[in-house]
Amino acid sequence: MMASTKELIKAAGGNIVVDLLLQNGKLINVFSGEIVKQDVAVHKGFVVGFGTGYKAKKKINLRGKYIAPGFIDGHVHIESSMVSISEFARAVVARGVTSVITDAHEIANVLGIDGIKYMLESSKNQPLNVFFMLPSCVPATNMETAGAHLSGFDLYPFLKEKWVLGLGEVMNFPGVINADEDMLDKMKIVNGKRIDGHSPGLKGVALSAYIASGITSDHESTTLYEAKEKLEKGMFIMVREGTSEKNLKDIIPLVNEKNYSRFFFVSDDRHAHDLVKEGSIDYIVRKSISLGLDPIIAIKMATVNTAEYFRLPRIGAVAPGYQADITVFSDLKNVKPCMVFRKGELVSVNGKFVGKKIKISGLVRGSINVRWLAHKDFNIPAQKKNINVIEVVPSQIITKKRVLPARIEKGFAVSDIKRDILKMVIVERHMSSGSIGKGFVKGFGLKKGAIASSVAHDAHNILCVGADDQSLFTACVEVVKMGGGLCVVDGEKVLGKLPLPIAGLMTDKPLEYVVKELEKLVTISKKLGCTLDDPFMTLSFLALPVIPELKLTDKGLVDVSKMKLVELFV
């Protein structure tokens, strides 16, 4: 039970016995930037003071280990982990992450307000502080078919929730720059709360117009120069390191002692197996230190900077009156939490979650509504010799636009394995419209078979890349049969699958199961020739029509720089 202010004052003054005393630790003070040998007193979930003068019910001798605030992920889509919030909490809390700011953008694009409600309810009573930014772009553009359309009127009631901090990443930057009324209405309703940005490649007067609207942050910088212009124009820079979106190495050189308060860390999208194998914000902290960032600055960027940006006064530091979200570790240059406390309760020891797992109640409706598929649906009659091809950029979600000769057989454009130009299709799965986008992609390396997924940012239609039409057909049908999920096939044979029954995005299965099955799928994909480290995360972003240069939706190819649909044949 939470203590009253009077009780906390008494505890801080040493007038009552506190719940916990962490002794002989080295406190990383994120306010002063100092490391001081210090005892930390905790009572009823809050830090109440420092020093040896406290009597405590329980004492833990840290024997010189470091004490730091619990890490905060400043922007994450929990759905991208493909596990429920309770399983996600198990994964990240064990890594020292005690708070996340999530944008339920993915599930909202499938289930609308029901998806947001599901995520809000699922986050209650978890061993993790889960704060929300409301999805601003459902759908992201009018060049795709999503499962819902949310207006400012739809979003407004959620602002009364104390866990809702503002408006999530505003992807529709053309809408902002052109003062689209629907977009501006959504921005008006937050009434002074934070509005996160999403402006890949935007610069000059267009960037100025975007920022002038009241948008205060961005996580899409892929180069130092892009981040520098955004910093100079007043934006907070979210330094991102996800499964496919790896920007840390390029951005960190920009951070220095004069400007570090304008930076904080985000993971955006990380698969479950990366959370288990590498970590979350702890991984980003370690990697940034290995790249030369001062460890104290790295800790600040993972804690107090994020809290202050989102105006969260009670988290992000170990200090009197702050929630006792604490991570303990032995090596300042290789930060690996050995103890994690959330509200003063021990929730992780040596990377193992020991807190209480909260079972999530409630169901969501089925989300796969696909018109009957036939082999001929995937045919591409040849119209000209050359085609627009999406080229994958390794470790990034941006793509390149290439014009290449098509391989034509019997009057149809088909995959060209020798040149690694594979057919890609995206099947609309919300309205049973029968809409199917068709194109080609370079960079997967598949020599045979196909991979498919119902996780396809942002509308999350069924996306498939394959070496032949039979494999494409089998893979898409299997995703429909599962009610959403991932699969790898070869011809008519399904080689592996991972069902995702919650909106076609997540499963209620344990974290360990998802990690094991996902790793199996990646291994099978590589046996078929795939050269990507995580083909499913890369695949999922090939349908995102707000990230340059060329993407595919159920309505066709999108030239993102022009924000319009373009022909496959050129």
pLDDT at 237 over 60: yes
pLDDT at 471 over 70: yes
Tell me how far apart the alpha carbons of residues 194 and 515 are, in angstroms, rounded to a whole number: 34
pLDDT at 236 over 90: yes
Tokens of 491: 């011809």
Q: Which domains does the chain have, with CATH numbers?
A: 71-313 (3.20.20.140), 375-566 (no CATH)
Average pLDDT over residues 274-287: 96
Using only C-alpha atoms, the chain has a radius of gyration, in whole angstroms, of 24
Note the pLDDT of residue 122.
Answer: 94
Tell me how far apart the alpha carbons of residues 312 and 500 are, in angstroms, rounded to a whole number: 33
> pLDDT tens for residues 299-344?
999 999 999 999 999 999 999 999 999 999 999 999 999 999 999 9
> pLDDT tens for residues 242-257?
887 889 999 999 999 9
pLDDT at 1 over 90: no
pLDDT at 153 over 70: yes
Alpha-helix runs per DSSP H in 2-62: 5-12
How many angstroms separate the Cα of 35 from the Cα of each of 29, 68, 268, 346?
Answer: 6, 10, 30, 23
> pLDDT tens for residues 209-220?
999 999 999 999
pLDDT cut 90: percent of the chain above it: 90
Average pLDDT over residues 74-94: 96
pLDDT at 418 over 70: yes
Note the pLDDT of residue 398.
Answer: 87
Q: What share of the chain is helix, strand, coil (3-state, %, to 5)?
A: 30, 30, 40
Tell me how far apart the alpha carbons of residues 570 and 568 are, in angstroms, rounded to a whole number: 7
How many angstroms separate the Cα of 363 from the Cα of each of 89, 102, 122, 194, 368?
Answer: 19, 20, 10, 31, 15
How sure is the predictor about 409, in pLDDT bands with cuts at 50, 70 and 90? very high
Residue 261 per-residue DSSP state: G
> Residue 557's closest CA among 426, 366, 379, 407?
426
Average pLDDT over residues 189-205: 93
Tokens of 178: 């052109």
In degrees rounded to 5, what are phi and psi of residue 284?
-65, -40
pLDDT at 395 over 90: no
pLDDT at 282 over 80: yes
Tell me how far apart the alpha carbons of residues 381 and 30 are, in angstroms, rounded to a whole number: 62
- Whether residue 139 has a cis bond before it, omega within 30° of 0: yes
> pLDDT tens for residues 102-134?
999 999 999 999 999 999 999 999 999 999 999
Average pLDDT over residues 422-435: 97
> pLDDT tens for residues 358-376?
877 667 889 999 999 999 9
Tell me how far apart the alpha carbons of residues 98 and 126 are, in angstroms, rounded to a whole number: 10
How confident is the prediction for the chain on average, in pLDDT?
95
Average pLDDT over residues 464-493: 97
